[in-house]
Amino acid sequence: MNTMLRTKALILVLSLASAVAAAAPPPAPPATQPAARVARALVSEVLDRAAGAFMFIGGGSGVAIDPDGYVITNAHVVQGSKRWRMRSGAGKAYTADVVGRATMTDLALLKIRGEDLPPHLPLGDSDALHPGEPVVAVGNPFGLGNVDGVPAVSLGSVSALGVDRPRAWDCVVTDAAINPGNSGGPLMTTDGRVVGINGQVATRFGVRANTGIGFAISSNQIRRYLPALREAAGAEVAPGALAGATLDYDRAGEARVDKVADGSAAQKAGLRPGDVVRRIGQWDVRDSGHLTALVGRFPAGADVELAVSRDGQTRRLRMTLGAPVPGAVGVVFHRGNQSLRIDRVVPGGPADHAGIQPGDVIRGISGFRIRRRSEFQAILSNAHAGETVHLTLAREGKDIPVAVRLAPAAEIQKLLDAADKEG
Amino acid sequence: MNRVLRSALLATLLAGVLVAGPVRADVLGDLARATVAVTAVTDRGNYVGTGVVVHKSGYVLTSTTVVPPDAKEVRVRFLSGPEVRGELVATDARMELAVVKVPRMPAGTRAVAIRRSAGVHVGEPAFSYGDAFTTFGDSGTFTASLGIVSGTYELTRQISPPGNMPVYVGRVLETTATLAPGMDGGPLLDGSGRLIGLLSLNVSEARWLGVAVPSDTLLGPLEKAIETHSRAAGKPVRLTVVDTAGPPAFPQQARRAEAFAKAADAIAGSVVAIEAVRHPTKPVETAPATHRGRRGRPELPRTDPDELTGPYAGILQRPDAPATGLIVSADGEILTSHFNVAGNIKSLHVVLPDGRRLPARRLGWDAFRDLAMLKVDAKDLPAATLAEEPTPVGAAVAALGRSPDPASLTMTTGIVSAADRFDGTAIQIDARTNYGNTGGPLIDEKGRCVGVVAHVSTDGMWSQNSGVGFAIPTRSIRQVLDRLRAGEVIAKPQRGYLGVRTGSAGLDAGGVRVEAVMPDTGAQRAGLRAGDVITHVDAEPVGEPADLTRLILRRAPGEEVSLTIRRGQSVEKIQATLGVHPYQ
């Protein structure tokens, strides 16, 4: 596969769709042979259990996960709205308030108003899954259930675990069919436990339909964010970051701390320049990019244990994670219009390192095709320092993919000021 | 411990207690230790993909779409251990074959056994394994997908994405297991984990499912390359090749696959190919905005793409390949999807499994149910019996087809996802459906015909096989069967249509936000604009998009509705005349 195609093979967030269908009573089950009966029994049992807890929210899906009326879904399903009306798969209507959202990991938690609460499905342990295990996705693909009120169920298997994607850390990958409208809906084991909520689908050549690679945000990722989401009082929950530590992203095979800011959380935790972070929480760290992703598996404010190598010894440190620092690419656009043509590249900034040149036009970011600067800024506003964004540039009539590791916005400003002084 | 190994260990511990039956996860564990991520450096840029170790001395099988013949450098990453430089031993771009030798491999690395593909049959379990969408680079894990061998046929053209390397043309194994970008060069394995093919990027226009170059095609050049190279290096080695599958990695999957393979045999004689040639159609003005949403989302299945033109008409065209039908009477009545025979037909033929190619004519059709009845002049044909009982949600089903090769049956398996779609006339299935198998039977595990596959997505080639497919169940077929036989053209129900695409904005918006207004609709003529918030239809409040859909569908075309809208700060009332819903 050419790397050009990799940028075309977008990972897109599932979104909302509306459609037309109508209801009729479900038919009675007939008798069948053992293997099929096992499959059907499993799936229909899962669906029976799921129906009351499954929620149609807007054009997407959600699921009630505890007896107090908390419903989990994707942040991109509830968008900016504070209140939602939703219907369960059993046809009951509820009104719910968004109590917390974590846009960076695409989670939102709602609480249903009133005393009449739906049944719930328990969150399972996603770390106990294994590749090949059967899983069931319940959802509202293409909005087909909007009118008849019936969710759809698809059966597949676990393809991979612990996959980190932009906007989706610690994912369960599945080949069960998930499509636009499945967003926020549960991915379940055949014994009825929620092991993730379906969030993204990998698309082949830009068509927004399932190609056998779906990403569900794992139940354990949900668990780690749940306390913060409950307490958020409607606010945004930021992902964690090694606040104050700058990592060396150029080293292969290890995550080495480059700088530690004075008075920062990283310094308080005892991190020093030159430390190599080997473990965070339960996970081994492969390199700096991996560490950045692993840190996002926790919300800001979480207390985590780090294992670092220093002078040939392993030390254990405890750190309270900070919030991520806004990131920037380090380019200046032409003033006064929406053009994405680059006027200046900040010397020494990430764009400069990535070989971006004045005159290049940004055509795409993180898989999205963009035309306006406002779209570029909207997508970048969610990105933080240390994160890699994939840009598509137009240069001399060709599309060129580049990966840019974002630097702290404040640092870019300093570089820009310095360049202005010189210039 | 590594993630995949840990998963494999967990799987072993859990194997005894799983509801779905024991899983021999060691097969996936072994596979994880035989699979590599490959990067090749060329003057045109880097190529990435998957490879698999085929001999323990360090020979890796991959594809020329991953390692092109002119690669300057090949880098290989194993599940553990550092990246190593590989030596490009041989390539044969005609079969996408590339062989790489690595000087050393991490301890515990396995080699996969190769099975001759001659004995591989349609319906047997298969799985794919590889670096889908670079999950290995991002997260250190490969991706596994369970499926079946869903077809075997000849590919005659290269349907290669622009800018990509030439891809293999010839006999392929098709699979329902995932083949995503990055998995090319990786293995297609049988149910016991033996390699039966090399995952390829070519595809059939009738199917749009993943295919693999069969091991029998690869074996000659692969064995020769390794023998020559190893002899020259002074350490001659030979590949291990077997003829049959071993014990299944996923016994339950294997049992179901075998049951369906038998079931398909029982009805195969009734499944026919349909060849339709159309007169070139005069372009009809349509609204391009309606067939691709702003976000490019697929719209509802439509039954007559011939009516569509505009910028997307090209991708909506049917492939140059047959579709599928089902013999329902011994004297030549053939049921199929209306889509397959819609439009201005120049000639229509049915190809029977025995190779006879008979001219056919259309009897009746039902565009709403997406069914049509054809007739050929023949006697004593093996007619399929339509099942009496409905199939419940969750039931295992398989869709059978006769395309692209009328002589070779295709089969995709799945479950019933939802009952009663489209006014209760259709069921939703997650068995893969595409241009090729539309119109063919949906069977249960006993081989009974429980429906006919219909409503194929016409939103473009890659939206085939989305896992949201439809079939017309036998109960719904029976409601119109006699009328179709009698040559009746059954009118579509007329339903109201406003012509807006809406977005969900929650209760804060106090209504439903209009995202787009379709050209030439009641909504446009009434002056609705994107950004308007519809709060009421007549006196009834609109809280969410589904409310609006329900309220509009209740009305007949031609009726006038009063819409209360919020536009900026003002509240206005707008009268709109409903049109005819285009999708039904």
* pLDDT, tens only, B392-438: 999 999 999 999 999 999 999 999 999 988 888 999 999 999 999 99
Q: Say whether A157 and B144 touch across the interface (CB within 8 A).
A: yes
Q: pLDDT band for position B75 (50/70/90)? A: very high
Ranking A153-157, A216-220, B120-124, B310-314 by mean pLDDT, the lowest is: B310-314
In the prediction, which pLDDT does B190 show? Answer: 96
Question: Of residues A207 and A150, which shows the higher confidence score?
Answer: A150
**Which of A157, A179, A191 is facing B19, going by the closest CB pair?**
A191
Query: Does the active-site annotation cover A68?
Result: no
**Which of B1, B10, B295 is facing A208, going by the closest CB pair?**
B295
Task: Give residues 207 to 246 of A whose Cβ lies within 8 Å of B.
Answer: 207-213
In the prediction, which pLDDT does B244 show? Answer: 95
Residues B69-94, mean pLDDT to the nearest whole number: 93
Query: Does the active-site annotation cover A76?
Result: yes
> Helix/strand/coil (H, E, C) string of A81-122?
CCEEEEEECCCCEEEEEEEEEEHHHCEEEEEECCCCCCCCCC
Would the pLDDT of A407 be above 60? yes
Would the pLDDT of B287 be above 60? no
Looking at this protein, which amino acid is placed at residue A15?
A: S
Among the listed residues A126, A159, A183, A218, the single catalytic one is A183
**Gap between the Cα atoms of B472 and B488, Å rounded:** 18
Q: pLDDT band for position A80 (50/70/90)? A: confident
Looking at this protein, which amino acid is placed at residue B462?
A: W
Residues B324-338, mean pLDDT to the nearest whole number: 97
Strand A54-57 relative to strand A327-328: parallel, antiparallel, unpaired?
Answer: unpaired
Work out the burial of residue A245: count CB atoms within 10 Å of its CB; fewer than 13 is exposed, 13-18 middle, 19 or more buried. buried
Chain-wide mean pLDDT for chain B? 86
Q: List Cβ neighbours of A200 (8 Å cut-off, separation of 6 or more).
A: A11, A12, A13, A14, A106, A165, A167, A168, A171, A214, A215
Would the pLDDT of A6 be above 70? no
Would the pLDDT of A135 be above 80? yes
Q: List Cβ neighbours of A130 (8 Å cut-off, separation of 6 or more).
A: A158, A161, B7, B8, B10, B11, B14, B23, B25, B28
In the prediction, which pLDDT does A5 show? Answer: 36
Q: Which helix (H) or strand (E) holds B326?
A: strand B323-327
**Gap between the Cα atoms of B175 and B169, Å rounded:** 16
| Alpha carbon of A262: minimum distance to chain B alpha carbons (Å) | 31
Ranking A230-239, B273-282, B474-483 by mean pLDDT, the lowest is: B273-282
- The first and second tokens of residue B300, run together, are 């509802």
The rounded percent of chain A whose pLDDT value lies above 90 is 47
| Alpha carbon of A276: minimum distance to chain B alpha carbons (Å) | 17
Strand A276-280 relative to strand A283-284: parallel, antiparallel, unpaired?
Answer: antiparallel
Q: Say whether B468 and A41 touch across the interface (CB within 8 A).
A: no
The SS3 assignment for B182 reads: coil
* Long-range Cβ contact pairs of B551-554 (< 8 A, separation 24 or more): B552/B496, B552/B497, B552/B498, B552/B578, B553/A20, B553/A22, B553/A147, B553/B495, B553/B496, B553/B581, B554/B496
Would the pLDDT of A175 be above 80? yes
Q: Does A188 touch chain B (CB under 8 A)?
A: no
**Gap between the Cα atoms of B71 and B74, Å rounded:** 7
For A78, B293, B336, B413, the CA distances from A187, given in Å and listed in that order, are 19, 27, 34, 20
- From the candidates B18, B19, B446, which should be mutated to test the interface with A, based on the most A CB atoms within 10 A? B19
**Gap between the Cα atoms of B101 and B87, Å rounded:** 5
| Alpha carbon of A420: minimum distance to chain B alpha carbons (Å) | 35
In the prediction, which pLDDT does B584 show? Answer: 43
Kindly tell me the sign of the dihedral angle through the C-alpha atoms of A332, A336, A340, A342: negative
List the single residue in A with minimal CA-CA distance to B414.
Answer: A155
Question: Of residues A251 and A147, which shows the higher confidence score?
Answer: A251
- Tell me the CA end-to-end span of chain A in Å, nearest whole number: 43
The SS3 assignment for B116 reads: coil
In the prediction, which pLDDT does B314 show? Answer: 43
Choose among B467, B388, B479: nearest CA to B425: B479
**Gap between the Cα atoms of B5 and B7, Å rounded:** 5
In the prediction, which pLDDT does B198 show? Answer: 97
Would the pLDDT of B380 be above 80? yes
Cis ω before B125 (30° cut-off from 0): no
Q: Say whether B45 and A4 touch across the interface (CB within 8 A).
A: yes
List the single residue in B with minimal CA-CA distance to A26.
Answer: B419
Would the pLDDT of A373 be above 90? no
Would the pLDDT of B142 be above 80? yes
Q: pLDDT band for position B461 (50/70/90)? A: low
* Structural Rg of chain B based on CA atoms: 27
Choose among B25, B275, B315, B155: nearest CA to A128: B25
The separation between CA A409 and the C-alpha centre of its own chain, rounded to angstroms, equals 22
Greatest mean pLDDT among A218-232, A249-263, B194-208: A218-232
Contact B267, B443 (CB under 8 A): yes
Q: pLDDT band for position A367 (50/70/90)? A: low
Contact A56, A140 (CB under 8 A): yes
Backbone angles phi, psi at A26, to 5 degrees: -70, 145
Residues B366-391, mean pLDDT to the nearest whole number: 95
For A19, A24, B242, the CA distances from A147, given in Å and listed in that order, are 8, 11, 54
The rounded percent of chain B whose pLDDT value lies above 70 is 86
In the prediction, which pLDDT does B159 show? Answer: 76
Q: Quick check: ipTM above 0.95?
A: no
Choose among A129, A141, A133: nearest CA to A178: A141
From chain A, pick out residues whose CB is under 8 angstroms from the CB of B201: 1
List the single residue in B with minimal CA-CA distance to A13.
Answer: B295
| Alpha carbon of B244: minimum distance to chain A alpha carbons (Å) | 22
Choose among B544, B546, B538, B542: nearest CA to B578: B538
Instruction: List beta partners, residue B416.
Output: B429
In the prediction, which pLDDT does B462 show? Answer: 57
* Structural Rg of chain A based on CA atoms: 23
Ranking A128-137, A391-400, B449-458 by mean pLDDT, the lowest is: A391-400
Would the pLDDT of B219 be above 70? yes
Residues B209-220, mean pLDDT to the nearest whole number: 96
Q: Say whether B144 and A209 touch across the interface (CB within 8 A).
A: no
Residues A353-358, mean pLDDT to the nearest whole number: 89
The SS3 assignment for B110 reads: coil
* Helix, strand, coil abundance in chain A, percent, nearest 5: 20, 40, 40
Contact A82, B509 (CB under 8 A): no
Query: Does the active-site annotation cover A219?
Result: no
Among the listed residues A88, A106, A275, A287, the single catalytic one is A106
State the pTM of this model. Answer: 0.83
Would the pLDDT of B301 be above 90? no
pLDDT digits (tens, 9 = 90+) for A257-285: 998 988 889 999 999 999 999 999 999 99
Choose among B38, B54, B31, B49: nearest CA to B230: B54
In the prediction, which pLDDT does A420 show? Answer: 80
Q: Given the structure tokens 């319940």, which residue do they identify? A: A138
Backbone angles phi, psi at A27, to 5 degrees: -75, 160
Q: Say whether A30 and B389 touch across the interface (CB within 8 A).
A: yes
Choose among A165, A107, A74, A102: nearest CA to A388: A165
Q: Say whether A151 and B420 touch across the interface (CB within 8 A).
A: no
Would the pLDDT of B10 be above 50? no
Greatest mean pLDDT among A6-15, A361-370, B50-59: B50-59
**Gap between the Cα atoms of B139 and A289, Å rounded:** 10
In the prediction, which pLDDT does A123 show? Answer: 96
Q: pLDDT band for position B285 (50/70/90)? A: very low
Would the pLDDT of B176 be above 50? yes
Choose among A61, A184, A50, A69: nearest CA to A116: A69
Ranking A374-388, B10-24, B353-367, B567-581 by mean pLDDT, the lowest is: B10-24
Would the pLDDT of B286 be above 50? no
Q: Say whether A20 and B391 touch across the interface (CB within 8 A).
A: no
Would the pLDDT of B6 be above 70? no
Q: Say whether B415 and A39 touch across the interface (CB within 8 A).
A: yes
Q: pLDDT band for position B80 (50/70/90)? A: confident
- From the candidates B201, B393, B445, B551, which should be mutated to test the interface with A, based on the most A CB atoms within 10 A? B393
Question: Of residues B555 and B295, which shows the higher confidence score?
Answer: B555
**Gap between the Cα atoms of A50 and A152, Å rounded:** 11
**Gap between the Cα atoms of B530 and A297, Å rounded:** 38
Ranking A95-109, A195-209, B1-15, B67-81 by mean pLDDT, the lowest is: B1-15
The per-type count for chain A, helices as H runs and strands as E runs, is: 10, 27
- Tell me the CA end-to-end span of chain B in Å, nearest whole number: 55
Q: Given the structure tokens 């059967």, which residue do they identify? A: A134
Residues B454-470, mean pLDDT to the nearest whole number: 79
Backbone angles phi, psi at B35, to 5 degrees: -100, 145
Q: pLDDT band for position A394 (50/70/90)? A: confident
pLDDT digits (tens, 9 = 90+) for B545-555: 778 888 888 88
Greatest mean pLDDT among A372-381, B34-43, B161-170: B34-43
Q: List Cβ neighbours of A300 (8 Å cut-off, separation of 6 or more).
A: A228, A237, A238, A239, A240, A241, A321, A322, A323, A324
Task: Provide the H-helix boundaries in A281-349.
Answer: 288-295
The separation between CA A12 and the C-alpha centre of its own chain, rounded to angstroms, equals 11
Question: Of residues B439 and A349, which shows the higher confidence score?
Answer: B439
Would the pLDDT of A110 be above 70? yes
Backbone angles phi, psi at B321, to 5 degrees: -155, 155
Q: pLDDT band for position A375 (50/70/90)? A: confident
In the prediction, which pLDDT does B550 show? Answer: 80
The rounded percent of chain B whose pLDDT value lies above 90 is 62
For A55, A62, B548, B549, the CA distances from B512, given in Å and listed in that order, are 19, 20, 8, 11
Would you give the DSSP letter of residue B303? S
In the prediction, which pLDDT does A414 show? Answer: 87
